[in-house]
């Protein structure tokens, strides 16, 4: 798991976003180092997840929620199931040739 702040840097999130660059780097390196063993390594990069994290409490961060909704063509935040579905895909044989990828699960959001 990484953070969309690694793809779309947000002022004020330097420490948080910086801490999330490590998983991306590990995917880049490990996918090359152990791919020959048939092991795939990928990153899931979710958009803000409704009912989770800072949005766990109903009505939390209304201005941030509004900004995020405006940036997402699907006009909603991610749901836990959206992220879980991608994790299930990566854990299945359906993704057996997907390696070293950073998958944005963000409904097409651009920031």
In this structure, the number of other CB atoms found within 10 A of the CB of residue 35 comes to 13
Query: Three-state DSSP class for 23?
Result: helix
52 is catalytic: no
Q: Which of 7, 19, 20, 95 is catalytic?
A: 20
Q: Does the annotation count 4 as an active-site position?
A: yes
Catalytic site includes residue 16: yes
Q: What tokens appear for 104 in the block?
A: 């944005």
Q: Which of 16, 25, 60, 61 is catalytic?
A: 16
> What's the distance, Cα to Cα, between the start and end of the chain in Å?
18
61 in catalytic set: no
Active site residues: 3-4, 16, 20
């Amino acid at each position: 798991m990484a953070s969309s702040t690694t793809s779309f840097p947000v002022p004020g999130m330097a420490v948080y976003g910086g801490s999330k660059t490590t998983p991306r780097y590990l995917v880049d390196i490990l996918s090359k180092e152990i791919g020959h063993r048939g092991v795939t390594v990928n990153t899931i990069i979710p958009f803000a997840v409704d009912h989770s994290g800072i949005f766990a409490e109903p009505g939390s961060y209304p201005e941030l929620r509004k900004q995020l909704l405006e940036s997402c063509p699907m006009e909603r935040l991610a749901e836990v199931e959206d992220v879980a579905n991608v994790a299930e895909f990566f854990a299945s044989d359906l993704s057996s040739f997907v390696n070293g990828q950073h998958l944005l699960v963000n409904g097409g959001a651009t920031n």
